[in-house]
Structure 1
């Protein structure tokens, strides 16, 4: 659990996680040089429970590097991500060993809430490991804070690379290397919307498209899945290629959910502005 200035929310995050996780598990919290009372809150939990450990950062390194340092400190067979401003649902870890028998990393939907605590429950849309590489070429359908993984499936101490949308870059890189990623249909985390989130900041979308590692991993995954270099392929052509590959997917449920992603108004977020093909730029 990376934490930066999370004094107002981390108590709920820790309580809900401790309540839901297995009795032999622990929570590692990385305090990313917070300037509020985050460290004191975590210390109180650590004083009361051996299941909570605090790692203090001397300087602010960002969530991605904080997660790298947390992974480096973990020696468990399984690891799970959690954000300091979210709420872990009671069912989150039920059956995780069974789910990870057919996958290396498992994600789940999120229930969304904001300042009013009014909760939005998403429409169920599971995806198998066979479908996930295609899904990642359309958009990033998996929430970081729901991840449960076999630790040996991740890349080690430098798992997350610097840059915006570092989680999306990682999932694509892992999928291209053959790591099996699945997505279940039952929410396991309640995700808190608030104005301080990185995705809410002005210019965030452009900064994502400027992430060269993200663009390189997208091209590598596309070549691995589609067998072509999509660097000079228009969005319409890419969509058509994906839909042809979706037709070959064995599971009807996977095919239905993949088509929904490909036709979503939020699909292909990396194919605009600098991510647009030369053909699209000519037409504009």
Structure 2
């Protein structure tokens, strides 16, 4: 049984899949695997994936037939096809940095999920390496109530913390919905301080589309997860109180965090333009 399964949904990713998989194989322990789902691609994604599998036995390819099922369902399928102790995520256009899995067993000793910052590149932007801004398990549920600070492509999770082939719910920002749902369940989540994935920006990304923000803010699954997370934090049901009351209670919860570094970092999240995306 492999220790880590890295799940990579790929749709028309022939131009980037090779670098994503090769960088992952370089960073992974030997007793691990990379699972690729070719989601009804119309380019050479399948050929690229098959060549990678021929070159390294740790790579396994699954092929969708007929219609595109989307990243959430593709990840669920791959999680269901694997039996490793840990599950890691990566998008087919991102690059795994060499440090990603160094010391992962020690880092995961008291955690259910671990994330890291991302280096940003592509789409004509200058390379951006973030300053360290870790968040502890005590701060993460409140941070998630405010905004999503957890990059999908950096996820490392214990299999037992996920829900097998029903882990993700299809829709916009399916990763955010999952993080909020797991945090509301009491899963221990940490954001580390050092980046371990390079995130590629490009015009065809879902997040680059003008309708993305409004689709997220109106999505019933996301609103349901956000409300449940708020109630787990001790906030009243979001639809029963005003935006001002939610903001006031959030400030009180921030002030109650044990670590000063968490208090400062979570407070900074409240000042972001995209904070509290589900307020009515």
Aligned length in residues: 272
Question: For 2:166, what is the secondary structure of its paired residue?
Answer: coil
1:116 CA drift (Å):
4.4
2:27 to 17, 20, 29: 20
TM-score by length of structure 1 reads 0.93
What SS does the aligned partner of 2:175 have? helix
8 Å contact from structure 2 (residues 123, 203) kept in 1: no
Q: Secondary structure at the match of 2:57?
A: coil
Q: 1:69-112: per-residue Cα shift (whole Å, max 9, x none)?
A: 01001100011001110010010001111111121000000000
Indicate conservation of the 8 Å contact 1:226/1:241, yes or no. no
Which of 29, 36, 41 aligns to 1:34? It is 41
Distance in 2 (alpha carbons) for counterparts of 1:227 and 1:113: 38
In structure 2, C-alpha distance between the alignment counterparts of 1:144 and 1:8, rounded to whole Å:
20
Contact kept in structure 1, 2:235 and 2:246, CA below 8 Å? no
CA deviation map 1:110-159 (0-9, x unaligned): 00001447310112111111111100110000000000010110012111
Find the residue that maps to 1:179 and give its secondary structure: coil
Report the counterpart of residue 238 of structure 1 in structure 2. 246
The corresponding residue for 1:66 is 74
Q: Does 1:183 align with 2:202?
A: no
Q: How does 1:254-269 map to 2 (within 5 A)?
A: 254-269=262-277
Aligned mates of 2:97, 2:242 — CA distance in 1: 41
User: TM-score scaled to structure 2, two decimals?
Assistant: 0.94
- Residue 52 of structure 1, aligned match among 59, 62, 67: 59
Distance (whole Å) between structure 1 residues aligned to residue 61 and residue 211 of structure 2: 33
Superposition misfits of 4+ residues, deviation over 4 angstroms: none
Per-residue deviation, residues 225-266 of structure 1 (Å, max 9, x unmatched): 024112233333212211101111111111111111122222
| Structure 1, gaps ≥5 residues long | 277-284
Answer yes or no: is 1:247 the counterpart of 2:216.
Answer: no
SS of equivalent to 1:149: strand
Secondary structure, aligned partner of 1:243: helix
Q: Which runs of 5+ in 2 are unaligned?
A: 1-7
